[in-house]
Structure 1
């Protein structure tokens, strides 16, 4: 592995809060704010993705993380300190509440246009969309929270029956229009609330300010990355990305690494060899859809191209949970939980050394502590 590839991995781990002590984030809201937005299609996985970036090992213990528990992160979601919605690409993401409105205004434009082109195929009319909006505002007024089935039933009672595809399309539209946001789930069932009632704080940015803000916070939290990475992540045109980078000005710096021109937060690029080694020292069990892999258009710096289909089978957009060693994705993992215990199973792409397995046992214990359960680790044969 080249020195510059190791540097890319180390910098990304540090900037994403995945290297010990690199970020001051102590809670899920601080992580969400620092990361700007994090993929949240897997509702359980994103809780771990937030927690693993917060805090760090307690002094004198490598396997007892001082990180928020699953219950604590759920409480942050339930109380609106972090919010799950669709600010970009029509996909579910978690943000800080004050960022959701302006991010959605900026990043959802192109996905909205694409979605509207499907309405004729779904037999969805503009009148239906408007009526559903009226139903949502009426039914959810006063801070009320309702499940998707209850809202679909309310729409039918108002004269707008929706089949499954129609309901998904129209409710997605009203999340992107910031009529509604996802509230605290009831078990495995999604619930919704009115955005302006659920979120008690918001920032207002004009378009040029918003573009600059996205560029600064994306590259600070995910750099080094290319301009094309930001275009993919934010569903922006390259013209918008160029304007965003120009607006960011001296907050960003350009670096040449592994034959590519990349950007990152100003002053973050210089690492000593010891700092690179420290950032890469601890293996990680990362969530499905984790931004360490997903947050870039090109992922070759952290996973070899021939292994990418194993993580995203058929390139279908569904990212499996990953094992990271020395900054590289070297396998997959899964969990099976009961009320008292969780079994973590690792499926490596290559044979792992004994020291690495011992370290991964510590990470499995961290995950068990997050869930409040005893953890066991099994490593299967290589793929």
Structure 2
């Protein structure tokens, strides 16, 4: 079969628009860590320290200490509400988001049942022990819980026994995915486990039902809200971007994005939680490139990307007001949403840059230095590794030091 040519790379002007939408400039940054996470709906939380930095970067005049306080006040939670990766959400969004996307975890649950023997009896034993410890201490560490499971025979006492590690992890994830446990207040750098049943339940979510669905369409009101928040905080995005971020199929993601545009454009529209609903736009690739070029300039590709893009309606104006801030040099943490929050991130970096950020291609990412909307270096073991072997200019050297100093203050 003939080789299908890759799609055209997105221009850097799209990256600048995304930087603004992401809240990484003063005009769009959030007043509190809680609001920063609410706007994004869910933020990657695989490396907890990195997620603290990512939230702080999107919050006005707040260091990671402010983000820690939000966890300790139980405003922010860490769990597996979507896909197979841990994310940070607000307490209010945790359950309805988890339920709306529950049918996307069927493969994980099937494997836990068939390969590791997780059944309802075992889950109940594990949950009862967790609630007992939480009732006694208020919050417990993962190690304390697993050790108690081992003492009572729920998991093998020998952590190196065949399948022991997978069983422990499967129980932890399943209890989170079922809305029984969640991670909140901190002990040092570790979020402790608390009872998720104390959080606002799924019926407080969009559509006031919170019900999941075995059908691939799910709860339309909840999926539209997921798409709306994603497009507002990440746009310009496509259905493929939303599908990768949320775990939805592309067909469902496209429908959810179109529903989100309709909902946000309705007269007098307001979000289910009373927050401001920013109108959204649908644009073809050609329309988007013309708009982005008019605001940010730069070289444009000869061929426009296919598909439909969704973005907040005021994004071009916001970029025009914030162009110097969007172009500034910034050091962003590993797993930052500006990078991993998209299927197509060619506006931010190329194939060589992807290798620079994840040299082992094992799903682990390095912190990144972004300058004028492009990845120019990665941070490895405390040292910058430059995309071109060295900084391109004295200006970039000076700007890099300022970015590192800002990150250190946070």
Q: TM-score, normalised by structure 1?
A: 0.83
1:364 Cα offset (Å): 1.2
Assess if the C-alpha contact under 8 Å between 2:235 and 2:310 holds in 1.
yes
> Which one of the candidate residues 335, 353, 356 is aligned to 1:307?
353
Secondary structure in 1 matching 2:11: helix
Residue 116 of structure 2: aligned partner: 122
Residue 13 of structure 2: aligned partner: 7
Task: Tell me, yes or no, if structure 1 residue 252 matches structure 2 residue 253.
Answer: no
For 1:81 and 1:190, the matched residues in 2 are separated by 13
Q: Which runs of 5+ in 2 are unaligned?
A: 1-7, 157-163, 210-218, 266-278, 286-303
Residue 55 of structure 2: aligned partner: 50
Secondary structure in 2 matching 1:313: coil
1:4 Cα offset (Å): 6.8
Residue 17 of structure 1: aligned partner: 23
> Which one of the candidate residues 241, 249, 256 is aligned to 2:253?
241
Task: Tell me, yes or no, if structure 1 residue 41 matches structure 2 residue 42.
Answer: no
**Alpha carbons of structure 1 residues 143 and 37: separation in structure 2 relative to 1, 3 Å:** farther
For 2:59 and 2:381, the matched residues in 1 are separated by 21
**1:344-375 deviations in Å (ceiling 9; x for gaps):** x32211232111111121111111211xxxxx
Residue 132 of structure 1: aligned partner: 126
**Alpha carbons of structure 1 residues 311 and 209: separation in structure 2 relative to 1, 3 Å:** same
For 1:92 and 1:200, the matched residues in 2 are separated by 20
**Alpha carbons of structure 1 residues 78 and 335: separation in structure 2 relative to 1, 3 Å:** farther
**Alpha carbons of structure 1 residues 42 and 309: separation in structure 2 relative to 1, 3 Å:** same
For 2:321 and 2:306, the matched residues in 1 are separated by 22
Secondary structure in 2 matching 1:259: coil
**Alpha carbons of structure 1 residues 49 and 135: separation in structure 2 relative to 1, 3 Å:** same
Equivalent residues in 2 for 1:1-383 (5 A)?
A: 5-19=11-25, 21-55=26-60, 67-141=61-135, 144-162=138-156, 163-197=164-198, 199=199, 203-205=204-206, 206=209, 207-248=219-260, 249=262, 250=265, 251-257=279-285, 258-271=304-317, 274-275=320-321, 277-334=323-380, 345-350=383-388, 351-352=390-391, 353-370=393-410
RMSD over aligned CA atoms reads 2.5
For 1:263 and 1:196, the matched residues in 2 are separated by 38
Q: Which runs of 5+ in 1 are unaligned?
A: 56-66, 337-344, 371-383
Relative CO higher for 1 or 2, CA cutoff 8 Å, sep ≥ 6?
A: 2
Assess if the C-alpha contact under 8 Å between 2:76 and 2:184 holds in 1.
no
For 1:222 and 1:347, the matched residues in 2 are separated by 27
**Alpha carbons of structure 1 residues 262 and 12: separation in structure 2 relative to 1, 3 Å:** farther
Structure with more of its chain in strand, by fraction:
1
For 1:366 and 1:310, the matched residues in 2 are separated by 23
